[in-house]
Amino acid sequence: MIFICVKWKVKPEYAEQWIELTRDFTEATRAEPGNIFFQWSRSVDDANEYVLIEAFANDAAEAHVGGAHFKRAQADLPQYLQATPKIRNVVMEGDHWDELGEFKVE
């Protein structure tokens, strides 16, 4: 799978609305064939930063960035941001979350 993590620095005046502002993009992405997960979290250190983790089957990421909802998000979302989002992505084996053995719950 292709695992992607993106940090989004949202303008303070839009931080409380960010999840709603991205709702159509989020729902459309989650409905894509090949999407494994697409999840937002808010930083506990910076209330204006959201972290998006997403994963796609290896052949699905290109369709994602070529989709109409992605192009709408490209046109619409930058107005709400302080800076260009930061991204990391990696191709990895599997399509699931592994257990953190060092913190095993018995």
Predicted local confidence at residue 20, as pLDDT: 98
The reply to whether 28 falls in a domain is yes
Predicted local confidence at residue 34, as pLDDT: 92
Closest CA to 30 of 40, 43, 42: 40
CATH code, 19 = 3.30.70.100
Segments of the chain scoring below 50 in pLDDT: none
The structure tokens listed for 77 are: 């979302």
Q: Please tell me the total count of domains within the chain.
A: 1
Distance CA 7, CA 95 (A): 22
Give tens-digit pLDDT for 62-76. Answer: 778 888 999 999 999
Please tell me the pTM assigned to this model.
0.91
Predicted local confidence at residue 102, as pLDDT: 96
Boundaries of domain holding 85: 2-94
